[in-house]
Structure 1
Amino acid sequence: MAGRRSTGGRERGYVRKRGNSHQVLVYAGVDPVTGKDSYLSESTRDEKKIPEIRSRLLAKVDRQRNAATKATLSYALDAWLEVHEADESTLDRYRELAERTIGPALGDVPISKLGARALEQFYAQLRRCGARCDGKPFVEHRTADAHECRVVVKHRWPPGRPSVKSRAEHDCDAAGCRVAECRPHVCKPLSAGTVRKVHFVISGALAAAVRWEWIDSNPAAEAKKPKQAPPQPQPPTSDEGSRIITAAWAQDFAWGMLIWLKMVTGARRGELLALHWHDLHLDQGVLEIRRNFTHRNGKAREKDTKTHQMRRISLDPGTVELLATHRLNCQEQLAALGVAFDESAFVFSYEADHSRPCNPDGVSHRYAEMCTRLGIKSHLHTLRHYSATELISSGVDIRTVAGRLGHGGGGTTTLRVYAAWVAESDRQAANVLAGRLPKPGSTGRSD
């Protein structure tokens, strides 16, 4: 069957026989991801329907070519980020994905030309290599400017804000500073979770474009995104937890207090660092979580908690006593400086006057180094898992565990993340009940 031709002579529509079916193909332009010719296609076993199908596909291509707007994806992303409601740290992350990951690949593509297939190919490329390389070896240079490939040192400074003196006395060998240079590219695939975030950003921008009548439909709504991997928390064991807290106390009391509180409350890192003394009600044995502290791209912020809800966590007498000692140490430290103690001071700080909280990344790095010296594979967030698993294994109900962790959904998130430990706790419960009931032929309890 003859197909119509474009002004350039390219065949726009043709049919090919595939078994008992007729496949209608219509040229739709160059694929924005692969650079190859792209075709819309549809199959039918009824030869009489071929003209109808070809006309429909041609009309779809013509609508794309004559869209009401020529806006590119980068333009749509910028417009969406201007109006999207989210906290600053979340918006910063979206902007980073838009600039570093989405923009270089699809930023110049008109949104009217984007389709679900192009997006799925883009996601597949990111899952193979975050740099979307073509598989051929090349050198990753430290800078795009003209330079000679040479060795540079990436220093590792101690936690906190290093002074000029500490930098001058810095021992690279002792600190474990790394040597970096222009080196051959090694593919680093993006995780499924990161690609899902990329999809969310693209989908949000295209959904806004639909609302603004720039395009008729959102292709990201049809695109298949990577599956969400099931959570597999790996908390320290009870023995490892004891070794970790012992090592923390050995370093200094304030550091030990931070790790202790992380383990017994399961609070998020930023939530603990945002604590002021007026958030601790030691006479009632209660800790109030009201804020979260973040430090990203050089910007330090106190903001709402992740769930935007305040929560009160009960403290045991031993923890209350330790916090009272930590408070006394803080008061004595301030008195030595001639500074009056203020309830608005931060509970955990590297500053002598406790005027600002510890740097979140510095805390995480310090914890990781401590665990490395102990021979334990762990990062700071696993202490949140440690708290949850210890509580569940001890028989504490899910709703209580969820409340202490600050999980939303009445425990749904807690069940999803810690299902393995819930199952183990359930088996223990079964053994307890079975042990209290008499077996056939016995005269009393089986235990």
Structure 2
Amino acid sequence: MTGRPGTGTRRARGNIETLASGALRVRVYGGLDPLTKQRHVLTEVIPKGTNARRDAERARDRLLVEVAERRNPKTSATLDQLLERYLSQFQGSPNTLQLYETHVKNHIRPLLGPVKIGRLDPEVLDSFYAELRRCRKHCARKRGLIDHRTEREHECDERCRPHRCRPLSATTIRHIHFILSGAFKKAIRWGWIKESPTSWAEPPPAPKPNPKPPNAAQAAQILNESWKDADWGAMIWTAMTTGVRRGELCAVKVESVDFTPGRETLWLERAIRREPGWGWGEGDLKTHQQRTAR
């Protein structure tokens, strides 16, 4: 099936073309692109060879089946376009959004931004995570690279040193995985793709927490010293006995405390946090649900 229009026959949904190099290009119509509203065509190139025609016909039939079963990507959108749409609709906190935008700018966009989302698979993502574990600056492995003390124009001194590859932390790589996972879930809901490659990719495991709180004797020593100032002692005591977050503790007001004997309660409804663009201010709790501490 060559699928050449203009012969008076019905236009074929798939065709095979011979390129100047001798390779065969398979093209299958996949519907209208929901992002651009233009024709979306699935393309696959079969290298020149003895069995090229047979392989091309198999590729065409496979793509036709994927289209018929709605398993093909519905758009030629790139990961950049998906992330831009995803972040514009993000409903998390401003701080989380700012963190995500930083990761997209520094790590995702330079390495995967131009890739079409239909071509991203678990193998590509695993290679991407491996690169993040190799070097956080994504260096080209060339000699003579310098880690400059600032990105601004400057004269180098002893603070600008030969480049050393340092990996991103496992926590940061997992944050990047969560960004991609959220974006691909949206893409599935929008009908852009059938399944998410992040479901099969393997980010590094979460690091095991290793808290080192003071023992009972050390805690008592800290409290005894802090009570030399009544206000400071009250704050340290509250932090130790309730386990509230720092931002929550800073937002406590007199009306937040119930001093009823035997029923003393601390109501946590607000928290102090940094808001991108204008500094510190009051906001909702991290869980967006008030709670009490006793």
TM-score, reference length from structure 1: 0.48
**What is the alpha-carbon distance in structure 1 between the residues aligned to residue 148 and residue 18 of structure 2?**
44
Question: Tell me, which stretches of 5 or more residues in structure 2 are unaligned?
Answer: 1-15, 26-42, 48-53
Q: CA deviation at 1:202?
A: 1.0
Q: Which of residues 106, 116, 128 in structure 1 aligns to 2:112?
A: 106
Are 2:76 and 2:117, in contact at CA under 8 Å, matched by a contact in 1? yes
Structure 1 ranges of 4+ moved more than 6 A = 51-54
Which AA in structure 2 matches 1:55? R
Residue 81 of structure 2 is aligned to residue 55 of structure 1 = no
Match of 1:341 in 2: none
**What is the alpha-carbon distance in structure 2 between the residues aligned to residue 123 and residue 215 of structure 1?**
22
Q: CA deviation at 1:248?
A: 4.4
Are 2:94 and 2:275, in contact at CA under 8 Å, matched by a contact in 1? no
Give the greater-gyration-radius structure (CA): 1
Which AA in structure 2 matches 1:311? R
Q: CA deviation at 1:67?
A: 6.0
Match of 1:258 in 2: 235
Match of 2:33 in 1: none
**What is the alpha-carbon distance in structure 2 between the residues aligned to residue 58 and residue 124 of structure 1?**
35
**What is the alpha-carbon distance in structure 2 between the residues aligned to residue 197 and residue 146 of structure 1?**
31
Q: CA deviation at 1:223?
A: 1.7
Q: Identity of paired residues, percent?
A: 35
**What is the alpha-carbon distance in structure 2 between the residues aligned to residue 306 and residue 197 of structure 1?**
17
Q: Which of residues 266, 290, 312 in structure 1 aligns to 2:292?
A: 312
**What is the alpha-carbon distance in structure 2 between the residues aligned to residue 60 and residue 306 of structure 1?**
46
Match of 1:276 in 2: 253
Match of 1:83 in 2: 89
* 1:154-190, Cα deviation, whole Å (9 max, x unpaired): xxxxxxxxxxxxxxxxxxxxxxxxxxx3223333322
Q: Which of residues 140, 144, 148 in structure 2 aligns to 1:141?
A: 148
Q: Which of residues 283, 295, 299 in structure 1 aligns to 2:274?
A: 295
Q: CA deviation at 1:226?
A: 2.0
**What is the alpha-carbon distance in structure 2 between the residues aligned to residue 98 and residue 215 of structure 1?**
21
**What is the alpha-carbon distance in structure 2 between the residues aligned to residue 188 and residue 264 of structure 1?**
39
Q: CA deviation at 1:124?
A: 1.4
**What is the alpha-carbon distance in structure 1 between the residues aligned to residue 237 and residue 60 of structure 2?**
64
For residue 132 of structure 1, give the secondary structure of its aligned residue in structure 2.
Answer: coil
* 1:273-295, Cα deviation, whole Å (9 max, x unpaired): 11112101223421111122211
More helix by share: 1
**What is the alpha-carbon distance in structure 2 between the residues aligned to residue 94 and residue 295 of structure 1?**
16
Q: 1:104 to 1:52 in 2, by over 3 A?
A: closer
**What is the alpha-carbon distance in structure 2 between the residues aligned to residue 278 and residue 223 of structure 1?**
49
Q: Which of residues 75, 81, 97 in structure 1 aligns to 2:103?
A: 97
Which AA in structure 1 matches 2:131? Q
**What is the alpha-carbon distance in structure 1 between the residues aligned to residue 215 and residue 18 of structure 2?**
68
* 1:347-370, Cα deviation, whole Å (9 max, x unpaired): xxxxxxxxxxxxxxxxxxxxxxxx
Are 2:259 and 2:265, in contact at CA under 8 Å, matched by a contact in 1? yes
For residue 300 of structure 1, give the secondary structure of its aligned residue in structure 2.
Answer: strand
Are 2:73 and 2:194, in contact at CA under 8 Å, matched by a contact in 1? no
TM-score, reference length from structure 2: 0.69
**What is the alpha-carbon distance in structure 2 between the residues aligned to residue 257 and residue 188 of structure 1?**
43
For residue 288 of structure 1, give the secondary structure of its aligned residue in structure 2.
Answer: strand
RMSD: 3.6
For residue 287 of structure 1, give the secondary structure of its aligned residue in structure 2.
Answer: strand
